[in-house]
Amino acid sequence: MEARRLQHIKGGSFTLSLPKEWVEQRKLKRGEEIAVFEEEDGSLRLHPIKMEREEPAEVVLASENFPEVRALEYCIGTYYIQGSNKITITSKKIIPADVKKRLKLLRMDLPGVEVAEERADAISFHVIIDPAAFLLESLVEKTSSFSLHLQEDAVKSILENNFQLASEVIERSKEALRHYRMTIRQVALASFSKAIARKVGVKNCRECVTFALIARDLNRLVYHSSSIAMQFVTLRGRAKISREILHTIEDMSSVSHEMQRDAVQAFLKEDVMLAIATMGRMSDVRLKEKMLLTTILKSVKDADLAVALSHITRDLRRIAGYSVAIADDAMNRTLAPAP
């Protein structure tokens, strides 16, 4: 640590000289603006304004390092989530047309990604969306809405024996995953830049962590709702499900659906009591799960039907479990010692 003396100048203002090495490293010049932020602990943070305007470094991937296209796709997606604004894939040879076609399909999975430049031996993707246009709370709310509707329709497809609706739920879940990737990207950008954090509605590092946690938990909710539909699709042509089992599935889904809704509201409204009430309903879900599994084992003779119904039961319980996790996220967001 280096101590510097505070100077008092005419007009009542105070000045403090900046370390020469710090100024030179950031290539600052006389007259340039420096933003001053007061942190929660009362300390001051200095940040050159021109640095806030700089674009993140370009990521360049050599296709020769990825024998399988799937690995390259995964890396592009990860760099996107981690906040890269430009991702370039190069090759010492011509990139095959079928490989480029697969890479371009990533635009369907990664919001805001477009092809910026293309040559025979290279292709560049740019992210053209402004982070400030998407508040994190808004993204959480939208992803939650997707998840709630997915669960409703997945269970509805079972109750109405509607395989077309189940297939649609599976396809729709991909859009919810787009929202998840966008949310994690916003969290990553907020962790890198105080300026972006302010724009997306993040107050501090601790809150940034809680947004990452709820994004992960919402993604699991989407997965399990989609899994319910996928399990039901495998039952096409099988014996019909008894009314007793359908009624219990509907009852169990109703509770887990309410838990999911209330947990997200507890997070958004920073409502501790609602979060605690949500956690308290887990025992009811476990009891319903036990009753449903017992009924399935005793009354369902078709082994494949019994297995699928057991998976659906466990998916509903896991939705309740991840709702408890979101309620815990709400508690961690709300309850923190004063700085």
Q: How many CB atoms lie within 10 A of CB 141?
A: 15
Residue 191 shares a structural domain with residue 317: yes
| 32: CATH | 2.10.260
Residues 6+ apart with CB under 8 A from 145: none
- Whether residue 198 sits in one domain with residue 175: yes
Show which of 127, 151, 172 is a domain's final residue.
Answer: 127
Residues 216 and 166 in one domain: yes
Strand partners, 15: 7
Question: How far is CA 324 from its chain centroid?
Answer: 17
Is residue 263 assigned to a domain?
Answer: yes
- Residue 268: inside a domain: yes
Query: Residue 88: which residues within 8 A CB-CB, separation 6 or more?
Result: 58, 59, 60, 61, 117, 122, 123, 124, 125
- Number of domains making up the chain: 3
Rounded distance, CA 74 to CA 229, Å?
26
Write out the chain's pLDDT in tens, 339 residues. 677 777 777 766 778 788 878 777 878 788 777 777 676 666 777 777 665 544 556 899 999 999 999 999 999 999 999 999 999 999 999 999 999 999 999 999 999 999 999 999 999 999 998 888 899 999 999 999 999 999 999 999 999 999 999 999 999 999 988 989 999 999 999 988 888 898 999 988 889 999 999 999 999 999 999 999 999 999 998 888 999 999 999 999 999 999 999 999 999 999 999 999 999 999 999 999 999 999 999 999 999 999 999 999 999 999 999 999 999 999 999 998 766
User: Does 305 lie in the same domain as 267?
Assistant: yes
Question: Can you give the three-state secondary structure of 154-204, one letter per residue?
Answer: HHHHHHCCCHHHHHHHHHHHHHHHHHHHHHHHHHHHHHHCHHHHHHHCCCC
Q: Identify which of 170, 320, 147, 316 has the alpha carbon closest to the alpha carbon of residue 218.
A: 147
Same structural domain, 217 and 100 = no
327, 266 in Cβ contact below 8 A? yes
Q: What is the pTM of this model?
A: 0.84
User: Are 42 and 64 in the same domain?
Assistant: no
Which distant-in-sequence residues (6+ apart) come within 8 Å of 49 by Cβ?
32, 33, 34, 35
Q: How far, rounded to the nearest angstrom, does the alpha carbon of residue 8 sit from its chain's CA centroid?
A: 49
With beta carbons less than 8 A apart as the criterion, state whether 258 and 265 touch. Answer: no
Q: Does residue 311 lie in a domain region? A: yes
The reply to whether 233 and 200 lie within a common domain is yes
152 and 230 co-located in one domain: yes
What is the residue range of 297's domain? 132-334
One domain, residues 187 and 160: yes
Among 127, 153, 179, give the residue marking a domain's end. 127
103/32 same-domain check? no
